[in-house]
Amino acid sequence: MVKGNGKAEAKGTKLDAERELPAGSEDGDDPSTVTSVSADGRDAEELQKVKAERDSLLDRLARAQAEFENVRRRAAKEQQDYRDYALSDAIKSLLPVVDSLERAVQMKADPAELRNGVELIYKQLQAALAKLSVNPIEAQGEAFDPRYHDAIEMVETSEAPDHHVIEELQRGYTFKDRLLRPAMVKVAKNPGK
């Protein structure tokens, strides 16, 4: 139907009116009555088809939503399992260090042997951390970098270049090139500059 065409609109209205029984006609032989019954039968049949299709689509939608929810739950559980597994690997790599510390505490040795044992345990711990991609940040003597260093104090000195680390108070660490903890440092400040 074209907008603005009054004849077409009137004709469409007339066709719709022909499907219905005329107001004064009750005669069963009237051709308009036959048209009305067959049109209503087709409409009812089409309505049933559309309802069946709608029900089918709603059922498919409900199943798709349920499947999506199941996939989401499964993915969340797999992520949690992966985190737990990754954490268990990290813990396993640290257990030999704990074992060595327990043996060191139980030993009755002179201070020199104890120091050697602690140094070995420290090396063992550093190796375990390196295996986990945890690396120390080099700070001593390096230029101050606010991304990796946390300046605790500025010290006036002429023995070190300006804005360089003169003392590391606490070591910083990175994990796969991401900062875990910045190094706490003292930074040189040359009074002559």
Cβ neighbors of 66 (< 8 A, separation 6 or more) are: none
pTM value? 0.54
Tell me the percentage of the chain whose pLDDT exceeds 70: 79
Residues 87 and 97: their CA atoms lie apart, in Å, by 16
Q: Which domains does the chain have, with CATH numbers?
A: 135-193 (2.30.22.10)
Q: Is the dihedral of CA 125, 127, 132, 137 positive or negative?
A: positive
What residue type is 39 in one-letter code?
A
Residues 48 and 55: their CA atoms lie apart, in Å, by 10
Looking at residue 62, its pLDDT comes to: 96
Looking at residue 38, its pLDDT comes to: 56
Q: Return the closest-CA partner of residue 134 out of 83, 182, 175, 96.
A: 175
pLDDT tens for each residue of 19-39: 444 444 444 444 444 444 456
Residues 129 and 13: their CA atoms lie apart, in Å, by 84
Looking at residue 34, its pLDDT comes to: 45
Q: Using DSSP, state whether 4 is helix, strand or coil.
A: coil
